[in-house]
Structure 1
Amino acid sequence: MTPDGFRLLPEGSVIAVAGAGGPAGQAAVRRLSRAGAVVEAADAARDRLDEAVALAPRGRAHGTSVDLTDPAATRAWADEIEERHGRVDGLVHLVGGWRGGKDFSDNTLEDWEFLHRLLVRTVQNTSLAFHDALARAQHGRFVLISATAAAKPTAGNAGYAAAKAAAEAWTLAMADSFRRLRKDRAVDGPAGDGVGAEPLDGPAAAILVVKALVWPLLRVERPDAKFPGYTDVADLAEEIAALWDRPTDDVNGQRLCLTQ
């Protein structure tokens, strides 16, 4: 067990964070690196990426500028990480973005194209690129950060809600892949008799759901705001890290709501 209390995040675990430059990404880099992981951080903005890496203890984080909407670039990043470390124990997907309005007529196909590229295509690219490496990890985790809008869209939020729902469906399909892999491994266990129980550990894909996020600078900029139901990025980072401390069956295919 680490000083931070995590049993399944041993020293040297390798976790990739996509979208590491935003407030949630920076909080995740900081928390995971301090829990004993080596963090491979990616973001399109080099300055924000450098800020994220600087939050980790020395030598605990490495930043790479990656266009995660490009499947070849994303796969090259995944391959580079596994080649450098010999393993990948997790991918945390924190690529975000929003476009919308108040009324249904505010939704545009141009906004949908933007949101699909940012919120769906990046999930497709990272999940496909990291799937096999995570499947080989003893406690591999793919973590998608989603929003309550996916299950309860509002009139002016159609594009964002639809993109989040699509990303969730894709992640749940990955979870089904991991479930099948674990079942096959149990059947083909050491006994070789075709009989066995599912292992207690193994890869998992999960969805953490928030209403919206809040961080220290936002609180300073909006001192009178109450942010009801919002999740602080520090609390989100704690929930992310804790996924390695939970049995696979409690994580895989789960949609875990963090709204207050």
Structure 2
Amino acid sequence: MGNGTLSGAVIVVAGAGGPAGQATVMRLAEAGATVVGADNDAERLAAAVDAARYAHGGATVVGDTVDLLDLETTRSWAERTEKEFGRVDGVVHLVGGWRGSETFTKTSLDDWDFLELLLIRTVQHTSLAFHEALQRSDRGRYVLISAAGASAPTAGNAAYAAGKAAAEAWTLALADYFRKAGGEEGPTSAAAILVVKALVHDAMRAERPNARFAGFTDVKDLAEAVAGVWERSAAEVNGQRLWLTEQP
């Protein structure tokens, strides 16, 4: 179980195989949580799970290859997870993807179709599948990782920014559900948005040694911020955009 700040918590990480997912799984395992990772890439997912288990012997870290684009599959995964571990205290949504164009006029709506599935549909499915379990928890958290571009879109990023903005709106609606469910006492569970400009990790720095990555958030710092969402009360973080970069 571990004796960290998240000892006994069961946290789901969607998109666990990417660099941010790997760092987050590692940090949550270090804090004592049982981590259930999902990714559509079985190899990347296995690497993330193995690394966290190896770094934190005794941590319970498991991986599931789940098609988060299928609502029923996601729902049955949520039910299975709660049944197996007895509770779900968090969902960290790290499913991402990016496509952009040189200018607004060159925007391809194929990019929108691609991003709508990755950035919005997966948020819809994970939130609909897990919201009741999170509400049953005494420290339920739904954490969306978003981008500053959602609030300040650039001409070439129309599809990406609009997708992120829609995902934020959906998450804020989930926050309103938690607020209403809490009644006069205030929410016991929360949905919050962590906003970055962009993410950077060691492999990127190695590939581009001269790049400055100004304003970027390191995936380890993001993982730290994710874990920190549980250190604050539900009322404090519910419905909030928590900025890890300069607010536009």
The TM tier, using the shorter chain, reads over 0.9
In the alignment, which residue of structure 2 is the partner of 1:55? 51
State the distance in 1 between where 2:11 and 2:83 align.
Answer: 14
State the distance in 2 between where 1:29 and 1:218 align.
Answer: 19
1:3 to partner: Cα distance: 6.3
State the distance in 2 between where 1:213 and 1:222 align.
Answer: 14
Tell me whether 1:37 sits opposite 2:33 in the alignment: yes
1:22 to partner: Cα distance: 0.3
In the alignment, which residue of structure 1 is the partner of 2:163? 163
- Contact between 1:91 and 1:143, CA under 8 Å: does it hold in 2? yes
State the distance in 2 between where 1:145 and 1:252 align.
Answer: 14
Tell me whether 1:122 sits opposite 2:122 in the alignment: yes
1:249 to partner: Cα distance: 1.5
Structure 1 length-normalised TM: 0.90
In the alignment, which residue of structure 2 is the partner of 1:212? 198
State the distance in 2 between where 1:176 and 1:182 align.
Answer: 10
CA RMSD of aligned residues (A): 1.3
Q: How does 1:195-234 map to 2 (within 5 A)?
A: 198-199=185-186, 202-234=188-220
Structure 1 SS opposite 2:192: strand
State the distance in 2 between where 1:102 and 1:3 align.
Answer: 50
In the alignment, which residue of structure 2 is the partner of 1:14? 10
State the distance in 2 between where 1:168 and 1:122 align.
Answer: 12
1:106 to partner: Cα distance: 2.2
1:104 to partner: Cα distance: 0.6
Structure 1 unaligned segments of length 5 or more: list them. Answer: 187-197
- Contact between 1:100 and 1:106, CA under 8 Å: does it hold in 2? no
State the distance in 2 between where 1:106 and 1:125 align.
Answer: 31
Q: How does 1:215-254 map to 2 (within 5 A)?
A: 215-254=201-240
Structure 2 unaligned segments of length 5 or more: list them. Answer: none
Cα gap change, 1:223 to 1:15, in 2 (>3 Å): same
Query: Which consecutive segments of 4 or more residues in structure 1 shift more than 4 A?
Result: none
State the distance in 2 between where 1:118 and 1:106 align.
Answer: 21
- Contact between 2:68 and 2:122, CA under 8 Å: does it hold in 1? yes
State the distance in 1 between where 2:28 and 2:138 align.
Answer: 17
1:76 to partner: Cα distance: 1.2
Q: Cα deviation per residue 1:6-29 (whole Å; 9 max; x = unaligned)?
A: 3xx2x2210000000000000000
In the alignment, which residue of structure 2 is the partner of 1:138? 138
Q: How many residues matched? A: 241
Q: Cα deviation per residue 1:197-239 (whole Å; 9 max; x = unaligned)?
A: x15x610000000000000111111100000000000000000
Structure 2 length-normalised TM: 0.94
State the distance in 2 between where 1:250 and 1:107 align.
Answer: 38
Percent identity (aligned): 59
Letter matched to residue 235 of structure 2? D
1:151 to partner: Cα distance: 0.5
